[in-house]
Amino acid sequence: MTSRERFLQALALEPLDRPPVWIMRQAGRYLPEYRALKEQHSFVKMVQTPELAVEVTLQPLRRFELDAAIVFSDILVIPEAMGQAYHFKETGGIAMDFTLSTAADIGKLESNGIPDRLNYVTQALQLLRKELGQDTALLGFGGSPWTLAAYMLEGGGSKSWSKAKALFWEEPSLFHQLMEKLCDALSDYFLVQIEAGVDAIQIFDSWGAACPGRDYPEMSLRWIQQVISRLPEGFPIILYAKGMAEHADNMAETGARILSVDWTVNLPEFHDGLPEGVGLQGNLDPAILDTNPDLTRAETRRFLEDMQGKPGHIFNLGHGIYPSASPDNVAALVETVCAYPES
């Protein structure tokens, strides 16, 4: 069975001897070959140059037997295509070039013509589909409308996300206007990713956990559902939201096929409680990759045993890989999953 077949089978919630494995987001930084490339080119330049984006995407695949590749890009390409650019800070981390603060700022955002302005992503995906052939799965991705709005309204990351929440509470119609624009941009963007040949799309609701639980459906999930409703029926969507596992039923109502959860979640239990027709992705603690290969192998195996025989599982870390992760430990993890149950 090829990696891609395995991945598609997991997406179809069919039983497998072992789950497909890939490594979640911001995946380049622990590799010396990524850091070397970044000495020569800025982060945004790498994202915007299809050949460089393809190179960064393929780096982990050359080292490890991963079943799927996620295109190197960023969720912030959407605000940038709408007229609010982002940059990588000298001190590390990421910021928007300006903060979205007035109705006029929101009015000016452009939600038409996104596929043209993000043609560099489509080109990277097309090149990747060729490079990978038909044997490895390819994932596209984007941020959720709420998570993108949060970055746009705060001008970057935030501890409290109070400006973003204030818009929801104080000016609901302006909040709706922004969310409608984001939904238009995102659905057009996902449609071209699908045309370029991705096997699934992961939506990152990274800051879903900033929402009060009772407002989560209105602040975030409703808009994710709107985006998904405009995609071809049944196209597999993986929805990641850290810290929101107790909202699994509401998350599943968005139309997502797979819920991706962080490592605080007891995965076999969570699997048993999932609604019919929904699978899960996760969720080894990425901190294990700061230890050693023996511990990584043992922990990975323990986790595989817990999930043995449960269909619709994609093996992944419960959050992005840390820059401090050791490539030897990543190798130990991937080898253990691929050799399972013999490993």
Does position 161 bind ligand CP3 by CB under 6 A?
no
Does position 141 bind ligand CP3 by CB under 6 A?
yes
Tokens of 150: 């949060």
**Residue 268: count of CB within 10 angstroms of its CB:** 16
- The residue from 52, 61, 69, 75 that contacts ligand CP3 (CB under 6 A) is 75
Distance CA 179, CA 146 (A): 7
CB 81 within 8 A of CB 148: no
CB 194 within 8 A of CB 140: yes
Does position 320 bind ligand CP3 by CB under 6 A?
yes
Stretch that binds ligand CP3, among 66-74, 166-174, 192-200, 302-310 (CB under 6 A): 66-74
Residues in 16-55 at the binding interface with ligand CP3, rule: CB under 6 A: 25-29, 38, 43
Size of site (CB under 6 A) for ligand CP3: 20
Instruction: Kindly state the smallest distance separating residue 137's Cβ from ligand CP3, in Å.
Output: 14
Instruction: Kindly state the smallest distance separating residue 109's Cβ from ligand CP3, in Å.
Output: 18
Does position 142 bind ligand CP3 by CB under 6 A?
no
Binding mask 199-228 for ligand CP3 (x = CB under 6 A): -----x-x----------------------
Of 164, 29, 181, the closest CA to residue 112 belongs to 181
Distance CA 80, CA 108 (A): 13
- The residue from 70, 121, 153, 325 that contacts ligand CP3 (CB under 6 A) is 70
Instruction: Kindly state the smallest distance separating residue 120's Cβ from ligand CP3, in Å.
Output: 14
- The residue from 83, 157, 197, 293 that contacts ligand CP3 (CB under 6 A) is 157
Of 235, 224, 147, 221, the closest CA to residue 191 belongs to 235
Q: Which one, 199 or 310, has the nearer CB to ligand CP3?
A: 199
CB 221 within 8 A of CB 250: yes
The owner of tokens 């996300």 is 161
Does position 74 bind ligand CP3 by CB under 6 A?
yes
Stretch that binds ligand CP3, among 13-21, 68-76, 162-170, 184-192 (CB under 6 A): 68-76
Tokens of 117: 């302005």
What would the DSSP string read from start to end of 273-328?
TSPTT-EEEEEE-GGGGGS-HHHHHHHHHHHHHHHTT-SSEEEEESSPPPTT--HH
- Site of interaction with ligand CP3 (CB under 6 A): 25-29, 38, 43, 70, 72-76, 93-94, 141, 157, 204, 206, 320
